[in-house]
Amino acid sequence: RKIVFATGNAGKMKEIREILADTEWEVFSMKEMGIDIPIEENGATFEANAVIKAKAVSEFCGEIVLADDSGLEIDYLNKEPGIYSARYMGEDTSYRIKNANLIERLSGVPDEERTARFVCAIAAAFPDGEIITTYGEVEGRIGYEEKGENGFGYDPIFYLPERGRSTAELSNDEKNEISHRGKALRKMKEELKKKL
């Protein structure tokens, strides 16, 4: 079974391959498919944006296409950056700078008000037009400094109190086991197994 994953984010793609490693599906990235089409992510929710991406690419290539729309919700900042997580401070701004900025915006905020979550919507678009979506989240807190070298994006500032580590300090397997992406994608795996 061939599955195309509509993402241009290498960090996501790596985790997606790991999470789908126990399936018999052949997973192709957009890059491997040679697909480079403009997609306007103008949805109001993670789910809507995941559907926009999966649908656009499925209509383009005629394959079963999955997409991931995800982000970081910080409660103290009214759930910012949320669906704008990739665009926060500009797409080309480094995560060193974005992470430092978020820590700065939370300076003086006590532990119990630093709650945050990573959320992930996965959408599957089929050539017959059917759409399936799944959702996952993981609760944590914004740290006081960047920690860890694994993962990508906001992982170095996303602290898991019960583990005493950031998600950038977890091994790949540990992160996938608890992450928003792991949860949403494992649900999608079950949905696809039913349908295929």
Task: List the structure tokens of 6.
Answer: 């509509």
Q: What is the CA radius of gyration of the chain?
A: 17
Is position 153 annotated in a ligand binding site?
yes
C-alpha angle 115-53-61 in degrees, rounded to nearest 5: 150
Active-site residue, from 68, 69, 75, 92: 69
154 lies in the site for ligand ITT, by CB under 6 A:
yes
Dist. CA 28–CA 92, nearest whole Å? 25
- By rule CB under 6 A, what count of residues binds ligand ITT? 19
Q: CB-wise, 93 or 193, nearer to ligand ITT?
A: 93
Dist. CA 168–CA 157, nearest whole Å? 8
Least Å from the CB of residue 128 to ligand ITT: 24
Least Å from the CB of residue 76 to ligand ITT: 18
C-alpha angle 42-188-71 in degrees, rounded to nearest 5: 40
128 is catalytic: no
Window 113-142: residues binding ligand ITT (CB under 6 A): 118
Least Å from the CB of residue 8 to ligand ITT: 4
Dist. CA 190–CA 41, nearest whole Å? 26
| Residues engaged in binding ligand ITT (CB under 6 A) | 7-9, 12, 68-72, 85-86, 118, 151-155, 179, 181
Q: Active-site residue numbers?
A: 69
Binding residues for Mg(2+): 40, 69
